[in-house]
Amino acid sequence: MGVARQYCGQLGKQDNCQVAVSLSLASVQGSIPIAYQLYLPKDWAGDAERRKAAGVPENILFATKPEIALEQMRQAIASGVPMGVVLADAGYGDETAFRDGITEMGMLYAVGIRPATTVWAPGTAPLPPKPWSGHGIRPTRLRRGPGNEPVAVKALALALPKKAWRTVAWREGSNSKLSSRFAVVRVRPAHRDYLGSEMRPEEWLLIEWPEDEAEPTKYFLTTAPSYATLEQMVFVIKMRWRIERDYQDLKQNFGLSHFEGRNWRGFHHHATLSIAAYGFLMAQRLKAGRDGSGKKNFAERQVPAVPKDYVPRGSPARAASRT
């Protein structure tokens, strides 16, 4: 599963960049969105006049993008969609509540995080609660102290020995295999753990540092099993490429980014039709692949050409023909 997509369009009376949160199912054969919802900023969601003008349903209240994504996952699971590994960029992965929500649903994740995100490095951990003096409330919160602090993942990555880095290839590109350098270590997320009484479970910190870059470029936290291999984790995080590539198809070839309406229903209606058309083509591609009839673009090559005398609806030529 993969989440989040940005979309530029119009809603109400303002031209701006709208953000739609989506949930996609992905495999090596392709991906397709199964949920798609416009994100309303807090000032927008609380503006009665704007809401009425854009036809926003009364039951749509303000929710952050991670909250929308989690609800989409809950609905998908309730509908019987098989659970998978959740992929998301750092805009979502940096949210502790988002990661915790995925875990509570019984799913694994492999999500991007920012370089400044803090973790407990291998061999370190929060201090236990202060010893109880015998008076007052017994201390229960974990502690930090001088020389016992979590570190930013970037600092941890830069401190790793050279032998920690390995070159891993994950798929065939246009001309050669795609590969990069990676390192992986077991860490504990540290976000505000001093407010709790229990240490967070260990997770994998996966770091990418291409040979031609001056510093690491990408960081991920994943709850993959402790026995997972580096190659397996790299394969999973790079599956987001599949989703990004398919979204380009949706935007450029199926009109997802061509919405010019100004209301809630129109926005989602347009997205639904674009995704349905893409889903149909995806089904044809997969069918052609099973039959051995051709490559991935087999169905696309079979689409009939547009007649030479075709005049698009709404074009000046169509309007002139009616006068």
Query: What is the spatial distance between Cα 20 and Cα 155, in angstroms, rounded to a whole number?
Result: 33
Give CA 45 to chain center in angstroms. 23
pLDDT at 319: 53
What contacts 168, CB < 8 A, 6 or more positions away?
179, 180, 181, 182, 230, 231, 234
Query: What is the spatial distance between Cα 155 and Cα 95, in angstroms, rounded to a whole number?
Result: 20
Distance linking the first and last C-alpha atoms of the chain: 51
CATH of domain 2-118+222-322: 3.30.420.10
Q: Is the dihedral of CA 172, 177, 178, 182 positive or negative?
A: positive
Residue 275 to residues 62, 129, 251, 281: CA-CA distances in angstroms?
25, 52, 10, 10
pLDDT in tens, 65-79: 999 999 999 999 999
Residue recorded with tokens 């997320």:
189
pLDDT at 38: 92
Q: Which residues of the chain have pLDDT under 70?
A: 1-17, 174, 290-323
pLDDT at 203: 96
pLDDT at 2: 57
**pTM of the entire structure?**
0.82
Domain ranges of the chain: 2-118+222-322
* Total residue length of the chain: 323
> Do residues 225 and 236 lie in contact, with contact meaning Cβ atoms separated by under 8 Å?
no
- For the chain, the 3-state helix, strand and coil shares in percent, each to the nearest 5, are 35, 25, 40
pLDDT at 223: 97
